[in-house]
Chain A
Amino acid sequence: MSASNPLSASRKTFSQRLFLFLGSMDLAITLLLALAIASIIGTVLQQNQPYSDYLIKFGPFWFELFESAGLYDVYSAIWFLSILVLLVTSTSVCVTRNGPAMFRDMWNLRTHVQRKSLGAMRHNTMWSVESTAQATVTTLESTFSKLGFRVRQTPKTDEVLISAMRGGMNRLGYLLTHLAIVVICLGGLMDSNLPLKLAEWRGQIKVETQDLPLSKIPAASILAVGSQAFRGSVNIPEGQSSDVAFVAMRDGYLVQNLPFQVEVKDFRIEHYATGQPKSFESDLVVYDDDLAEPLTTTISVNHPLIYKGYAIYQASFSDGGSALSLEAWPLDSQAGKEPLSFDTKVFERRKMHWGDNTSQLEITAFRPFNINPDPTEDDPANVRNFGPSIGFKLRANTGEALEYQNYMLPVTRDGRDFYLSGVRTNPNDEFGYLYLPIDEQGELTGFSHFLQRLHDKKISEVIAREMTLATLNEVANTDQKLAQSLQDTLIKLVDMFVKGGFANVTTFIETTLPEAERDSLGPAYLSMLREILARVYVDGLNLAEQQSPTESQLMFLQDAVDAVGSLTRYGSPIYFMLTDYEHVQASGLQIAHSPGKPVVYFGCAMLIFGVFLLFYLPQRRFWALVKENGQQTDILLAGMSNRNPREFDGFFEEISEKLKHTKGNSSVR
Chain B
Amino acid sequence: MNKIAGTMLTETSSSLVQWLWRSAMALVAIILISMYYDVFDYYEVGIVVLTAVGMALLGQNWPGIRWYIAVVGLLSLFAVDRYANDLSLANTDFFLSYMLASQSAVMWMSVLFVMAMVVYFAGLMFRSEFIQKVATALTWSGSAMGLVGLMVRWKESYLIGSDVGHIPVSNLYEVFILFAIITSILYLFYERRYQTRALGGFVLLVISSAVAFQLWYTFERHAHEIQPLVPALQSYWMKIHVPANFVGYGAFAMAAMIGVAYLLKSWRQSVKPEGILATTLPEMAVMDDLMYKSIALGFAFFTLATILGALWAAEAWGGYWSWDPKETWALIVWLNYAAWLHMRMTKGWHGRPMAWWAVIGLFVTIFAFLGVNMFLSGLHSYGTL
List residues of chain A with CB under 8 Å of any chain B CB: 1, 25, 28-29, 32-33, 35-36, 39-40, 42-44, 46-47, 75, 188, 191, 231, 272-274, 276-280, 300-304, 311, 313, 315, 590-592, 594, 597, 600-601, 604, 607-608, 611-612, 615-616, 646-647, 649-651, 654
Partner of B161 from the list A29, A43, A272, A590 (CB cut-off 8 Å) is: A272
Partner of B228 from the list A36, A47, A276, A591 (CB cut-off 8 Å) is: A276
In the complex, what residue of chain A is closest to B314 when comparing beta carbons? A597
When the two chains form their complex, are residues B232 and A301 in contact, meaning their CB atoms are under 8 A apart? yes
When the two chains form their complex, are residues B346 and A1 in contact, meaning their CB atoms are under 8 A apart? yes
B8 interface residue per 8 A CB criterion: yes
B63 interface residue per 8 A CB criterion: no
When the two chains form their complex, are residues B234 and A302 in contact, meaning their CB atoms are under 8 A apart? yes
Instruction: Return chain B residues, CB-CB under 8 Å to A43.
Output: 325, 328-329, 372, 376, 378
When the two chains form their complex, are residues A615 and B296 in contact, meaning their CB atoms are under 8 A apart? yes
Taking the nearest CB of chain B, how far is it from the CB of A28, in angstroms?
6
Considering the chains assembled together, what is the distance between the CA atoms of A592 and B372 in angstroms? 27
Most central of B161, B164, B339 by chain A CB within 10 Å:
B339
Taking the nearest CB of chain A, how far is it from the CB of B293, in angstroms?
8
When the two chains form their complex, are residues B8 and A301 in contact, meaning their CB atoms are under 8 A apart? no
In the complex, what residue of chain A is closest to B338 when comparing beta carbons? A32
When the two chains form their complex, are residues B10 and A608 in contact, meaning their CB atoms are under 8 A apart? no
Instruction: Return chain B residues, CB-CB under 8 Å to A300.
Output: 231
Considering the chains assembled together, what is the distance between the CA atoms of A198 and B311 in angstroms? 29
B320 interface residue per 8 A CB criterion: yes
When the two chains form their complex, are residues B318 and A608 in contact, meaning their CB atoms are under 8 A apart? no
**Closest 10 CB pairs between A and B?**
A650-B10, A301-B231, A590-B318, A36-B335, A43-B325, A32-B339, A313-B318, A302-B235, A604-B307, A36-B332
Instruction: Return chain B residues, CB-CB under 8 Å to A278.
Output: 163, 228, 231
11 contacts between A and B (CB under 8 A): A39-B331, A43-B325, A272-B164, A276-B227, A276-B228, A302-B234, A313-B316, A315-B318, A597-B314, A600-B320, A647-B8
Partner of A274 from the list B9, B228, B296, B372 (CB cut-off 8 Å) is: B228
When the two chains form their complex, are residues A272 and B320 in contact, meaning their CB atoms are under 8 A apart? no
B111 interface residue per 8 A CB criterion: no
When the two chains form their complex, are residues B336 and A611 in contact, meaning their CB atoms are under 8 A apart? no
When the two chains form their complex, are residues A611 and B300 in contact, meaning their CB atoms are under 8 A apart? yes
Taking the nearest CB of chain B, how far is it from the CB of A73, in angstroms?
9
Partner of A33 from the list B234, B299, B315, B335 (CB cut-off 8 Å) is: B335
Taking the nearest CB of chain B, how far is it from the CB of A233, in angstroms?
8
Contact digits for B152-163, partner A, Cβ 8 Å, 1 yes 0 no: 000000000101
B289 interface residue per 8 A CB criterion: yes
When the two chains form their complex, are residues A646 and B289 in contact, meaning their CB atoms are under 8 A apart? yes
When the two chains form their complex, are residues A313 and B161 in contact, meaning their CB atoms are under 8 A apart? no
When the two chains form their complex, are residues B320 and A597 in contact, meaning their CB atoms are under 8 A apart? yes
Instruction: Return chain A residues, CB-CB under 8 Å to B315.
Output: 302-304
When the two chains form their complex, are residues B163 and A272 in contact, meaning their CB atoms are under 8 A apart? yes
When the two chains form their complex, are residues A25 and B346 in contact, meaning their CB atoms are under 8 A apart? yes
Partner of B342 from the list A29, A607, A611, A647 (CB cut-off 8 Å) is: A29
In the complex, what residue of chain A is closest to B299 when comparing beta carbons? A611
Considering the chains assembled together, what is the distance between the CA atoms of A452 and B321 in angstroms? 63
Taking the nearest CB of chain A, how far is it from the CB of B12, in angstroms?
9
Instruction: Return chain A residues, CB-CB under 8 Å to B164.
Output: 272
When the two chains form their complex, are residues A592 and B163 in contact, meaning their CB atoms are under 8 A apart? no
Instruction: Return chain A residues, CB-CB under 8 Å to B335.
Output: 32-33, 35-36, 39
Instruction: Return chain A residues, CB-CB under 8 Å to B320.
Output: 594, 597, 600-601
Taking the nearest CB of chain A, how far is it from the CB of B246, in angstroms?
17
Partner of B303 from the list A274, A594, A607 (CB cut-off 8 Å) is: A607
When the two chains form their complex, are residues A302 and B307 in contact, meaning their CB atoms are under 8 A apart? no
When the two chains form their complex, are residues A231 and B230 in contact, meaning their CB atoms are under 8 A apart? no
When the two chains form their complex, are residues B377 and A46 in contact, meaning their CB atoms are under 8 A apart? yes
Considering the chains assembled together, what is the distance between the CA atoms of A25 and B338 in angstroms? 12
When the two chains form their complex, are residues B234 and A188 in contact, meaning their CB atoms are under 8 A apart? no
Taking the nearest CB of chain B, how far is it from the CB of A311, in angstroms?
6
Partner of B319 from the list A35, A231, A608, A649 (CB cut-off 8 Å) is: A231
Partner of B8 from the list A1, A600, A601, A650 (CB cut-off 8 Å) is: A650
When the two chains form their complex, are residues B307 and A608 in contact, meaning their CB atoms are under 8 A apart? yes
